[in-house]
Structure 1
Amino acid sequence: MPVHLVRKLTAVAALAVASLSLAACSTLGIDSGPGPTETESTAATASPEATFVPGGGAEENKAYFDKTLQALLDANPDAGSHEMVNALTDAGFDKAQMEVTFDKTSVDLDADFVIVSVKMPDDMCLIGQTGTKGYASTVGAPMKSTGKCQIGVTQDIDW
Structure 2
Amino acid sequence: MLRTAPSLARTARAFVGAGAILVLLVGCTAAAGEHPTPPSFLSPSPADTATASPALQPEGTAEDNLPYFRAIAEGVWASEQRAEGRAYIDALVAAGFDRTAMQVTPDQTTVGNPVESLQFSVRWGEESCLVGQVGPSTGQVVAVVMPQLAEGRCLVGTTRPIDW
Q: Give the TM-score normalised by the residue count of structure 2.
A: 0.64
2:146 aligned with 1:134: no
Q: For each residue in 1:96-144, what CA deviation from the matched residue of structure 2 results, as whole angstroms up to 9, or x when unmatched? A: 000000000111111111100000125300000011122111100011x
Which protein shows a greater Rg?
Answer: 2
Q: Distance in 2 between matches of 1:120 and 1:105?
A: 28
Q: Distance in 2 between matches of 1:76 and 1:85?
A: 15
1:84 aligned residue: 88
Letter in 2 for 1:151: V
Q: Answer yes or no: is the 8 Å Cα contact 1:80–1:103 preserved in 2.
A: yes
1:96 aligned residue: 100
2:133 aligned with 1:155: no
Q: Answer yes or no: is the 8 Å Cα contact 1:55–1:121 preserved in 2.
A: no
Q: Distance in 1 between matches of 2:81 and 2:98?
A: 24
Q: Unpaired runs of 5+ in structure 2?
A: 1-50
Q: Answer yes or no: is the 8 Å Cα contact 1:81–1:102 preserved in 2.
A: yes
Q: Distance in 2 between matches of 1:55 and 1:109?
A: 40
2:66 aligned with 1:62: yes
Q: Unpaired runs of 5+ in structure 1?
A: 1-46
Q: Answer yes or no: is the 8 Å Cα contact 2:126–2:152 preserved in 1.
A: no
Letter in 2 for 1:150: L
1:18 aligned residue: none
Q: For each residue in 1:29-59, what CA deviation from the matched residue of structure 2 results, as whole angstroms up to 9, or x when unmatched? A: xxxxxxxxxxxxxxxxxx9511111232211
Please report the RMSD computed on the Cα atoms of aligned residues, expressed in angstroms. 1.6
Secondary structure of 1:75's aligned partner: coil
| % identical equivalent positions | 31
Secondary structure of 2:133's aligned partner: strand
Q: Answer yes or no: is the 8 Å Cα contact 1:94–1:118 preserved in 2.
A: yes
- Corresponding pairs, count: 112
Q: Distance in 2 between matches of 1:112 and 1:60?
A: 29
